[in-house]
Chain A
Amino acid sequence: MSKNWTRSLRDRLQQEIPMEHLLPDTLPKYVDSYVYLFGVLTLAAFVWIILSGTILAIFGPDWWHVSPVGHFFNSLHFWSIQSFFFFMILHLWAQFLMAAWRDGRHFTWIGGWLMFLVSILAGLTGYLSQNNFDAQWIAVQGKDAMNAAGIGGFFNLLNFGQMYSLHIFVLPLILILLLGGHLLLIRKHGVVEPLPPDPKSEVRQG
């Protein structure tokens, strides 16, 4: 058979992430713990952030500051973000304590950190996109830090258009791409096995 981009991509995918790994119907016994739910809770919060944020973007600041329904979706967006960061930190603790970067899972770990950092940036641009006095205050205070870091020239906190575009398009796009890679890597490698028992504690028991 002659070479062909579609076929080589298909062969590569079948080799890297076979369907049994991509959509498994069983999980190892050690996954029977609430600790393994923090990741998917973060993902669920992210879905709510995107949904409520899309509605906020359609109707705009006049609506989310004045209309009662706008207030509701503003609050929904706010609390989704609170639970997003809450569960992301718990997910981070869990993965740190089980050393989840073992056995070739280093890029899953690094990707998680990248998403954490991008999320903080998304949080900052979100605060700046509120269109209220708080947003103005944060922009005026924060611009000095950006100028001191030497990036004020192309990352201008006082420029609402720039901050809003970053917040509703660029940063979510980066997050969704990183998240897709994160989930594919998890499905490729499977859930990390529990840490081996500490040999010292075995000696003490014996």
Chain B
Amino acid sequence: MGQGLQPPIPAGGAWEFSWLNLSSPDIIVVVLMVVIFILAIALPFPGGKE
């Protein structure tokens, strides 16, 4: 009882392997970083002034 309120407070469901343990917020952040990085490369930059 009240296990979830004892620190360390779990961040959510985890994607777990022996070599990797990512919580869902971890996965969201990593995926967001990859998406933003790809968009930053792919999207044309506005302007082009002299």
Chain B interface bracket (under 10, 10 to 19, 20 to 34, 35 or more): 10 to 19
Beyond A34-B40, A35-B41, whether A134 also contacts B7 by CB under 8 A is yes
Residue from A33, A133, A137 within 8 A of B40 (CB atoms): A33
| Interface: B45 (CB within 8 A) | yes
Task: Contact check, A34 vs B7: say whether CB atoms are below 8 A apart.
Answer: no
Q: Is A94 interfacial (CB 8 A cutoff)?
A: yes
Residues of B within 8 A of A (CB): 7-9, 29, 32-33, 36-37, 39-41, 43, 45, 47-48
User: Given A34, A38, A94, A134, which contacts B45 in the complex, CB threshold below 8 Å?
Assistant: A34
Contact (Cβ within 8 A) B45 A93: no
Q: Mark A11-46, 1 if CB is under 8 A from B, else 0.
A: 000000000000000000000111101100000000
| Residue from B29, B37, B48 within 8 A of A32 (CB atoms) | B48
What is the bound-complex CA distance between A33 and B40, given in angstroms? 7
A127 to chain B, nearest CB (A): 11
